Structure 1
Amino acid sequence: MQQTVVDHIDQAAEDVVSLVLRGPTGPLAPWEPGAHIDVALPNWLTRQYSLCGDPADRDAYRIAIRHDPLTRGGSEYIHRFLRRGRTLDVSLPRNHFPLVSAPEYLFVAGGIGITSVMPMLRAAVASGTPASLLYVGRSKASMPFADELTSRYGDRVRVVATDQEGRPDLAALGSMLPPRALVYCCGPASMLDAAKAAFPAERLRMERFHAVPRQFVPNTEFEAVCARSGQTVRVPADESLLDALTHAGRPVVAGCREGICGSCELTVLDGDPEHRDDIGASAGRMYACVSRASSPRLVLDL
């Protein structure tokens, strides 16, 4: 973890605040476009937010948070109680949505999804790569950083407020997509579904706010062996690996509990994990919040 201090809290749009988190003792860990951090809040919640500032600025991180009263209380705390000068612990940046090299880019963002896309557009323009952004929101007042983006990038950016213009035609945009362009899309599920229908799958990269509902085989009980301590933890069919480890005194840092943030990643030394995440765990890794075992026993680096 890294210690930061809340340096600025600004109103970025209706129900959206922007935070600048400064490193009080020196440079913060480096990051690349698409990365996010876990923020440990004083109300005992940990939440994930995309970094939306300049990766070249090692002195501070910028994030933006939309107030959603129907969630578990992270945005509520930030909007109502967080104040400038507060110390916050944040994780090292993680990136499950990296910007890969391409001859041209189309970025599509919906609402708060603009946060992960902004640094990508910055990097593409800085490298001289042709790039454009379609930024869609409910209304102009609800869209954070819209004026900043249009003033910086001019006609590379198209801002669409659906209360005035309706939803843009992604299918028409897909029909005009240059043959080697990559599309990066982050936004609500309806936008991602439209993007999947409009753009070739091999050239589309997406980041979701929430996990996609899927069906899995029924849960079965298994054992998790903590290799470093020698402890064996029984994981019942009605309990997650994450919760079983916590109850056994082997807590794992966790954030989303949906398999989309990667904060609860574990190293698997033996056994066959059953991956249920939306990230795509690499070989020898698994996410304890949602994934289970397809073998009777897993050996974990714990």
Structure 2
Amino acid sequence: MGSFRSSAPDLNDRDRGLFADFMVGGKQQKPRRPSSTIQKCAFGEGCRKVVISKNLGNVPMPKPSDFCDIRSPNGGWWDCCAHHQCDADGCYAPRKYNVLKGRHFIYCPKHKCIREGCERSHPSWQQYCTTHTCVKPDCGVIVEGDEKLCARHMKCAYNSCPSNRIRKDGEYQPFCSRHSACATTQCTRDKKAGSEFCTLHTCPMSDCTKRCIGDHFYCSDHICESDMCRNPRTFYLESQNVVLTRYCPIHECRKPSCHLSARNQTYGYCRAHNCEVPSCNNLKMIDPDSYPPLTMCRK
């Protein structure tokens, strides 16, 4: 019986190489037919360099040899070189190319904000960056152009007006251009905050938003009821509440705590407190023990 050595088949050079790899634990490599092709750099529109690459078979990801010498990384296990990788942590995909500017963004299509031309990345829970997100709390909808509000929050606050709000000094106003103007006919001034009218046509009394009467300075609630008077009414406190009277200081009775109209409308007393002499504006004499009651002043 012959020995194992003498009975083993002869190995050619190829088989000897495979056997040697097997004995040392090496991995058997599939043979590939080397061939060279001339093509553009696989980096895309951003690179116009020509590369000579070897066809190493069908590989799903781009091969290092498909990139020019500038864009091929050492080892070649990611898509492109560090200079052209997506800037997002852990991403090695090529950056998206900006056709309009002729250069690359710093993020790949997956991590770049979907707004065309935007250079920023987006949070993981949405496809657009925070700059292009509506600033209204709990909204999170994408905005148009350079707006800060989404289409829903951009609408004019006047009833069902479909127009968008206007911005003044960078701040959104409650109304559109048509409803931001004073409601007074032919007035083009901006409305006063909380009022339908501009500052000129809004009553100046505290917390009042009503329109002034005609060309007067106050509204019907605050103007003196005396004919042709333009002055504001007086007011007094009653149980911590502000109570308006009907007249201004000139046309109200001068007697403390009396708020009736002065008899002759010229800074005097009401009929109950004014001397009954027609030409006198003095206060009547008051004597509780007098009978009949006094009707004239000391004079």
- Please give the TM-score of this superposition, normalised by the length of structure 2: 0.18
More strand per residue: 1
More helix per residue: 1
- Please give the TM-score of this superposition, normalised by the length of structure 1: 0.18
